[in-house]
A and B are shown apart, each in its own frame.
Chain A
């Protein structure tokens, strides 16, 4: 089991419900394939830094999960197949990243990162 983080950008035309359904779809996909979602963070609508497929905004979703290494390939197929997904990225997290995310989640964001100028 390794730690990963998935970031997906959905099209902005998605309704609130569709967005929830899409979230659930990928969370379930991870669970079905022997993974374990540790954290789900729907960022919602955000403007993009540059247009993707002629769209200037996107619905962001960040999923943190533990999974066996063969899951990402399956996930990728589903993500590429889904028409609502503009872009996606999986990041492997090292132990510092897991620690950082955990700390950020528990609201102890007063770590060195935000303090320094």
Chain B
């Protein structure tokens, strides 16, 4: 019969739970990513106009692909820049 020994710490263990990332398209029920809406697409770009990775945006693969396509279209039509400084 082993006696269960409780592990005791001197300081309280930090139990910060990071908020789970989610796909905003799935959550909001957005089905179509519009390439004409440049302001919306800017949320998925960094200051230099580069696309943010899924790791950061939390998009699902399906919608990350759609966002990427939309951004590329917007760039072709000069709604978004290919390269800049200080976007936003």
Contact = CB atoms under 8 A, between A and B. Distances in A.
Interface string B64-84: 000000000101111111101
The secondary-structure label for the interface of chain B is loop
Interface in A73-117: 87, 89, 91, 94, 96-97, 99-100, 112-113, 115-116
A9 B3 CA distance: 78
Nearest to A43: B36
Given A50-B82, A62-B36, A91-B35, A9 B77 contact: yes
Contacts, number: 47
B32 A97 contact: yes
Interface residues of B, number: 22
Nearest to A86: B78
B32 A49 contact: no
Interface residues of A, number: 20
Contacts of B24: 116
A112 B76 CA distance: 26
Interface of A: 7, 9, 48-50, 52, 58, 62, 87, 89, 91, 94, 96-97, 99-100, 112-113, 115-116
28 contacts: A7-B36, A7-B77, A48-B78, A49-B75, A49-B79, A49-B80, A49-B84, A50-B78, A50-B82, A58-B78, A62-B36, A87-B76, A87-B78, A89-B73, A89-B76, A91-B35, A91-B73, A96-B32, A97-B32, A99-B31, A99-B32, A100-B31, A100-B32, A100-B34, A112-B30, A113-B30, A113-B37, A116-B24
